[in-house]
């Protein structure tokens, strides 16, 4: 928009002291509407008044020179007084909402150096904090380059060979102007490297100049007599002279300037409109973080920031309106529209205005360079990007982050090569608005989380979630109004940074607002999840997998994760110790290892650990206590009890072998083959019986550690992998049925596995065991109709098993099809709903079980996994070892096998 970009300055504060009247008038952050950087070392007590607030005033008044003054002239020249006042009101309403959020966060706890970055990172976590920190760093870098280029352009306008007025001594070209900018930036670098003392002295000198300039400008509106001002406008074929006029206070001039009069901007050749003028005006109001950026230099930031920032916003708002009225009442529209440097022409001492512009802009560039270095140092110190920013951690003996300053200077130098002032200005404003929108988002998240530690009483309470939303909406609207391209690019860049940091997963001790929000939202929904309203149509498996040592159960953990179908998944572990004899809970140190295991295996599971005198008691505890409300495990999963030596599958799991990472610490070595087990066969079967008594479904998984899911499901062979399903009780062929509760549950579990993303290529194969003379085709049609009603796609395969069942009838001493022995009816009756089964195991010989095992094994091709019917344990506990022995014979050599017993109805044919 003009030859000079609006400057700013943002120094820091010293210790909190008593306030003088001037400080109360101007506030802690007088020029916060233009200051855009993080402060450098404390200049607040260097020379002059020792009051820290006056130190801020004298440093930040530099931002008052060209920001409200030149912008106000441009705005009222095109929009007129009425629309200009409306623009100021809208703009300051937007930034006022953000200021409320800043004040709320600033009063919520102790603040350290870093300003907006510190607030956002500690409120929203490392992902948002690191992303916004990088963008805030780039905003300050681009801001420093912006003011350097603005100063170069102003100097060249006055002293260049093509200047309309002044001394023509400086050659003009892209490379010469780059050289001038490099020299000025080197001067800023030198000051920043020396440290706080020279910066404080420079700030005090600039304060005196700016104070004199402001006084001169205000006096000039009253002291200067009406004059004509010739305006030289650049044209393609030379230049053109137009005459503007300073009329002094005139009612006619005021009336002419009340309405809008949008014209072509002489510096860009673009036709101005309400939105474009509003964008330029708002560009001068985005420095509202100056006070909070001083957080590291303030003794009491929670006291200083709210009062200083709010007073700064109010003061600059009044200055904008006052200047707009004075300009409209004294300058004609031609002067306001065609000469953005008209204040020098009407000033009673023009050289002082020029010197003030140069000094203020140089101070702004220096302040942004210091601000960028402080943000870079804070990012490096927080170690969010690992070794990438390790160099920026180095400081001098006095604590000055010299390497961060040098790195920031290099980046600013690279930006200077662009040489495009207007492009950089749009990026700077967009980046700052994005930072302010995120500050509002942080405050909104803290408010919505309703955490007890987010307390803003008694310091600041004048905000609600409505003001946060208005601030977010206002900043986003202004971003796209100012520059749609820059806004879209900034949001895309922010998203990339968020994804990168999420992938890097930097650890922090700041807390994660997402966890607080999730907890706040989940609690009401858990209360709404009423178990009395459960319906079979919406049933889903909720698994409790008991794990003795994860080193031997890695693939089983992954397999059960595929079986849960978005339901609850809990990894349970029992530690055999007595808390009475221990000084502290031994499970707490193990919790992190289990949670790390869940993360590495990429399973969606909770972890539940317990202490108990025996494994059986521990499993009972977990079945009683795991889950919450309507989310409780309805299915217990156990590894199979056999004599096979455990294998360390965790070390060979792709989650560790591909990333070459060590197995998480905290898990003991696997049990040696000669070492006795922690539970006996009787106790193991007792766990199964306990679960069935508690109406929990039971799954026993055997040889799942031999299941190579990646090979089975991704191999390029043409026949897809299969899942074999045997929904018949092979240990009770006399009562074999395919439509009881357990059989249907077994079908459902196989179908659920087939629905998992990794198993969709697999095909279900259902085996129908038939005997001679039993009308197999009728049975097949009946089963096919059942599958159709249940909407299960499976291939039915008929399996003659007369040779197998003959062994069973021989054991029972009764012919097939003859009268059943005494007690058979009672057994079947209890099969349906009784708690315990009779001792059916005594009526099944090992020869029969081996024949059934051979029958299952002969079905080809070999499947990826088999699902078999799990009969109930016998009522007589003395037969538990025999029951387990028969299960071992039945599943011997079958490969990955899951024995299933269901006690709940899980299928429905209703819509």
Tens digit of pLDDT for each residue in 220-242?
888 888 888 777 666 545 566 77
User: Residue 788: how many CB atoms within 10 A of its CB?
Assistant: 11
Taking alpha carbons only, the member of 509, 488, 636 closest to residue 574 is: 636
- What's the rounded Cα separation, in Å, for the pair 189 and 177? 18
State the pLDDT at residue 865: 93
Tell whether the model's pLDDT for residue 697 goes beyond 60: yes
Rounded to an integer, the average pLDDT of 302-315 is 74
- What's the rounded Cα separation, in Å, for the pair 322 and 345? 20
Rounded to an integer, the average pLDDT of 866-884 is 92
State the pLDDT at residue 623: 93
* Tokens, residue 688: 């199964």
Q: Judge whether 560 and 637 are in contact, CB under 8 Å.
A: yes
Helices 116-124 and 63-106 sit at what angle, rounded to 10 degrees? 20
* Tokens, residue 264: 């072509």
Q: Which CATH architecture has domain 61-504?
A: Up-down Bundle (1.20)
Q: With cut-offs at 50, 70 and 90, classify the pLDDT of residue 47.
A: very low
State the pLDDT at residue 499: 81
Express each pLDDT in 787-819 by its tens digit.
Answer: 888 888 889 988 888 888 887 766 554 444 444
Express each pLDDT in 627-657 by its tens digit.
Answer: 887 788 999 999 999 888 777 777 777 666 6
Q: With cut-offs at 50, 70 and 90, classify the pLDDT of residue 695.
A: very high
Tell whether the model's pLDDT for residue 382 goes beyond 70: yes
Indicate the DSSP class of residue 271: B
Number of H helices, E strands in the chain: 31, 12
State the pLDDT at residue 174: 81
Of 87-101, 155-169, 562-576, the range with the highest mean pLDDT is 562-576
Express each pLDDT in 116-149 by its tens digit.
Answer: 677 777 767 777 778 888 888 888 888 788 888 8
Phi-psi region of 684 (alpha: psi -120 to 50; beta: other; left: phi over 0): alpha
Q: Which of 159-168, 270-279, 751-760, 823-832 is least confident?
A: 823-832
Give the position of tokens 């309106």: 321
Residue limits of CATH 1.20.1740.10 in the chain = 61-504
Q: Which of 53-62, 266-275, 441-450, 490-499 is least confident?
A: 53-62
CATH of 708-811+840-910, one of 3.40.50, 3.30.70, 2.60.40, 2.30.30: 3.40.50
Higher pLDDT, 200 or 105: 105
Q: Which of 201-210, 510-519, 551-560, 638-647 is least confident?
A: 510-519
Rounded to an integer, the average pLDDT of 593-609 is 88
Spell out the residues 6+ positions from residue 722 whose beta carbon is closer than 8 angstroms to its own: 762, 763, 764, 765, 861, 863, 864
Q: With cut-offs at 50, 70 and 90, classify the pLDDT of residue 53.
A: very low
Rounded to an integer, the average pLDDT of 528-532 is 74
Residue limits of CATH 3.40.50.620 in the chain = 535-653+675-700
- What's the rounded Cα separation, in Å, for the pair 390 and 39? 22
What b/e sequence results for 555-580 when a residue is b if at least 16 CB atoms lie within 10 Å of its CB, and e otherwise? Answer: bbbbbbbbbbbebbbbbbbbeeeeee
Tell whether the model's pLDDT for residue 895 goes beyond 80: yes
What b/e sequence results for 86-102 when a residue is b if at least 16 CB atoms lie within 10 Å of its CB, and e otherwise? Answer: ebbeebbebbbbbbbbb
Q: With cut-offs at 50, 70 and 90, classify the pLDDT of residue 297.
A: low
pTM of the model: 0.62
Residues found in the chain = 911
Pairing mode, strands 697-702 and 635-639: parallel
Tell whether the model's pLDDT for residue 386 goes beyond 60: yes
Q: Which of 84-88, 309-313, 870-874 is least confident?
A: 309-313
Pairing mode, strands 543-546 and 763-770: unpaired
| CATH code reported for the domain at 535-653+675-700 | 3.40.50.620
Higher pLDDT, 594 or 514: 594
State the pLDDT at residue 239: 60
Tell whether the model's pLDDT for residue 45 goes beyond 50: no
For residue 609, give the H/E element and its range: strand 606-611
């Amino acid at each position: 928009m003009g030859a000079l970009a609006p400057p700013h300055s943002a120094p820091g504060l010293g210790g909190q002291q008593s306030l003088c009247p001037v400080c109360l008038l101007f506030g802690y952050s007088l020029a916060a509407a233009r200051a855009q950087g993080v402060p450098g070392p404390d200049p607040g007590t260097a020379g002059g008044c020792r009051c820290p607030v006056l130190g801020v005033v004298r440093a930040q008044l530099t931002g008052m020179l060209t920001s409200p003054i030149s912008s106000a002239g441009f705005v009222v020249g095109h929009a007129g007084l009425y629309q200009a006042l409306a623009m100021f009101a809208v703009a300051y309403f937007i930034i006022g909402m953000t200021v409320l959020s800043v004040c709320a966060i600033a009063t919520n706890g102790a603040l350290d150096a870093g300003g907006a970055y510190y607030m956002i990172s500690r409120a929203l976590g490392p992902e948002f904090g690191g992303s916004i920190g990088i963008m805030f760093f780039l905003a300050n870098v681009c801001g420093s380059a912006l003011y350097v280029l603005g100063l170069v352009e102003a100097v060249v306008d006055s002293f260049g060979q093509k200047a309309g007025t002044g001394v023509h001594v400086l050659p003009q070209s892209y490379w010469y102007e780059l050289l001038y900018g490099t020299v000025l930036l080197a001067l800023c670098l030198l000051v920043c490297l020396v440290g706080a003392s020279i910066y404080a002295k420079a700030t005090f000198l600039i304060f005196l100049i700016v104070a004199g300039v402001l006084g001169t400008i205000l006096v000039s509106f009253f002291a200067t007599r009406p004059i004509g001002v010739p305006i030289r406008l650049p044209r393609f074929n030379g230049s053109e002279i137009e005459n503007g006029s300073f009329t002094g206070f005139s009612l006619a001039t005021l009336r002419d300037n009340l309405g809008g009069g949008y014209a072509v901007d002489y510096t860009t050749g673009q036709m101005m409109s309400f939105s474009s003028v509003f964008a330029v005006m708002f560009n001068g109001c985005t420095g509202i973080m100056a006070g909070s950026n001083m957080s590291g230099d303030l003794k009491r930031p929670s006291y200083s920031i709210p009062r200083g920032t709010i007073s700064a916003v109010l003061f600059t708002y009044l200055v904008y309106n006052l200047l707009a009225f004075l300009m409209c009442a004294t300058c004609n529209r031609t002067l306001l529209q065609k000469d953005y440097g008209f204040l020098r022409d009407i000033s009673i001492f023009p050289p002082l205005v020029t010197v003030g512009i140069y000094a203020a802009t140089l101070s702004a560039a220096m302040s942004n360079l210091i601000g960028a270095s402080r943000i870079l140092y804070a990012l490096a110190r927080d170690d969010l990007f690992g070794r990438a920013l390790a160099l920026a951690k180095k400081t001098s003996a006095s604590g000055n982050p010299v390497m961060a300053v040098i790195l920031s200077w290099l980046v600013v130098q690279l930006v200077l090569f662009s040489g495009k002032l207007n492009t950089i200005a749009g990026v700077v404003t967009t980046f700052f608005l994005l930072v302010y929108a995120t500050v509002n988002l942080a405050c909104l998240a803290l408010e919505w989380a309703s955490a007890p530690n987010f307390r803003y009483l008694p310091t600041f309470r004048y905000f609600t979630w409505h003001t946060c939303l208005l601030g977010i909406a206002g900043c986003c609207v202004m971003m796209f109004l100012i520059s749609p391209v820059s806004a879209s690019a900034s949001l895309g860049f922010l998203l990339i940074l968020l994804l990168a940091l999420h992938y890097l997963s930097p650890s922090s001790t700041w807390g994660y607002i997402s966890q607080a929000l999730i907890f706040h939202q989940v609690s009401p929904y858990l209360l709404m999840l009423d178990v009395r309203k459960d319906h079979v149509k919406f049933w889903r498996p909720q698994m409790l997998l008991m794990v003795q040592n994860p080193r031997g159960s890695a693939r089983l953990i992954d397999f059960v994760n595929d079986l849960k179908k978005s339901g609850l998944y809990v990894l349970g572990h029992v530690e055999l110790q007595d808390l009475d004899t221990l000084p502290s809970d031994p499970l707490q140190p193990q919790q992190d290892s289990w949670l790390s295991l869940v993360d590495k295996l990429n399973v969606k599971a909770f972890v539940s650990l317990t202490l108990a005198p025996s494994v059986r008691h521990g499993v009972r505890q977990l079945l009683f206590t795991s889950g919450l409300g309507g989310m409780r495990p309805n299915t217990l999963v156990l590894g199979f009890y056999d004599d096979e030596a455990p294998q360390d599958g965790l070390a060979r799991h792709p989650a560790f072998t591909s990333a070459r990472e060590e197995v998480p610490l905290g898990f003991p070595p696997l049990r040696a083959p000669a070492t006795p087990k922690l539970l006996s066969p009787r106790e193991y079967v007792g766990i199964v019986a306990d679960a069935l008594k508690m109406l929990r479904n039971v799954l026993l998984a055997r040889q799942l550690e031999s299941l190579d899911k990646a090979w089975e499901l991704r191999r390029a062979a043409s026949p897809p992998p299969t899942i074999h399903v045997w929904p018949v009780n092979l240990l009770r062929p006399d009562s074999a049925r395919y439509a009881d509760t357990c059989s249907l549950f077994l079908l459902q579990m196989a179908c659920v596995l087939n629905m998992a993303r990794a198993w969709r290529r697999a095909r279900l194969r259902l085996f129908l065991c038939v005997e001679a003379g039993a009308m197999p085709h009728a049975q097949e049609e009946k089963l096919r109709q059942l599958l159709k009603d249940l909407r299960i796609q499976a291939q039915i395969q008929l399996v003659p098993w007369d040779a197998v069942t003959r062994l069973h009838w021989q054991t029972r001493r009764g012919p097939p099809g003859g009268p059943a022995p005494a007690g058979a009816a009672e057994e079947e009756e209890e099969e349906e709903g009784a708690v315990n089964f009779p001792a059916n195991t005594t009526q099944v010989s090992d020869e029969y079980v081996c024949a059934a095992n051979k029958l299952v094994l002969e079905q080809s091709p070999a499947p990826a996994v088999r699902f078999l019917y799990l009969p109930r344990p016998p009522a007589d506990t003395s037969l538990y070892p025999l029951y387990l022995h028969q299960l071992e014979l039945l599943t011997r050599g079958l490969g990955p096998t899951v024995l299933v017993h269901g006690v709940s109805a899980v299928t429905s044919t209703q819509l």
